[in-house]
Amino acid sequence: MELTVTQENFSRALSAVGRVASNKTGLPILSNILLRTDGNRLLVAATNLEVATTQYIGAKIVKPGAITVPARLISEFVSSLPKDSIELKVVNSNIHISSGKFHSVINGVIADEFPELPTINEASSISYTINTDDFKQAVSQTIITASSDSTRPVLTGVYWHSHEGQLYLAATDGYRLSERRLVETSSEVSAIIPVQTLQEVLRTIIDDSDTVDILFDETQVRFRINEAEIISRLVDGNFPDYRQLIPAKSDINATVIKTDFVRVTKIAGLFARESGGSVTLTVDQDNQSVSLHSIASEYGENTSELSGDVKGSGQVTLNSRYLAEALSAIEGDTLEFSFSGKLSPCILKSVVKDTNYYHVIMPLKS
């Protein structure tokens, strides 16, 4: 193999795929990056057997071929080179890298030992093309409520599913839940995508990406952004029927300015660190107010209040971090906070008509 690439394109591709390369498995080859010519392009790829990511960059091919090289070494070396053309030449199982006055030889491993990259049959798969901004927002709003507990794998991903002609994303860790409506769909979809995969897709999206192409088959999902592809296994199992956990109506409702709610939540959280993050919310219809109370036994206590449009009165205790993360995910200037009692789920959503996102937090037993 012999070719020339630009430092900027090569470094960006190595950095993107290098995040997937793993040295934590029993297969040393998985800590390598695959370099392989493909027509007049260079394929740069890595896999950890759960996720595979590829990037294509333009190249001047002199001699086709393939090699695998240690991910961390080549990524850090190429990123340190000046922005100039880079010549790559494979001799036996070594790759010679030259750029200006810099020259290195890196020991590689023949490409035959690298696992075969997964593929998806486009003809038999379900496809979506999602606006990049909508994709980023929907994923960011839902991954925050996914679980990190590997003993319940189905909760460690985001559930992409069709319901009444719409595509939804949902995630829960058992203590909170988020759901986001994304686009209309005529297809039947039910797939749990690992959070790590979605985080990798978010990192891969660059400023000039307009859309994300998504392809589902029975066991895999593929994301394509410009010249980058990420293919991941889906989480095996059935996601819980979360809709039955959401109350159809609540007895207590408070409509408040989001920035005010964020401020009092942040302040209450400062005093809640010692008490497991618990803050008590009191909704008062007579005073048309919402107050947050928190106690730090060693340092003191805090009560902060904000005005709102309140119907009903009651009290509930929540985790301040969960509340802060919910508020950061909700769009709009005004939001609605509703619940029915001390042990009922608390629902937060924007007051925008036909809002496409809501967030549920289970109360703490105080």
Dihedral, 95, 99, 101, 106 alpha carbons, nearest 10: -20
Q: What is the DSSP string of 88-123?
A: EEEETTEEEEEETTEEEEEE-B-GGGSPPPP---GG
Q: Tokens 């985080």 identify what position? A: 199
What pLDDT does 366 receive? 63
Q: Quick one: CATH architecture of 246-361?
A: Roll (3.10)
CA distance 57 to 11: 10
Better-scored residue on pLDDT, 276 or 335 = 335
Residues 2-113: name the CATH superfamily.
DNA Polymerase III, subunit A, domain 2 (3.10.150.10)
Domains 2-113 and 122-244 share a fold: yes
Per-residue pLDDT of 19-77, as tens digits, reads 999 777 678 999 999 999 999 999 999 999 999 999 999 999 999 999 999 999 999 99
Domain ranges of the chain: 2-113, 122-244, 246-361
Q: What whole-number distance in Å separates Cα of residue 51 and Cα of residue 18?
A: 12
Helix and strand numbers, DSSP H then E, in the chain: 6, 26
User: What is the predicted pLDDT for the residue at 336?
Assistant: 96
**Domain 122-244: assigned CATH number:** 3.10.150.10
| pLDDT exceeds 80 at position 215 | yes
Q: How sure is the predictor about 354, in pLDDT bands with cuts at 50, 70 and 90?
A: confident
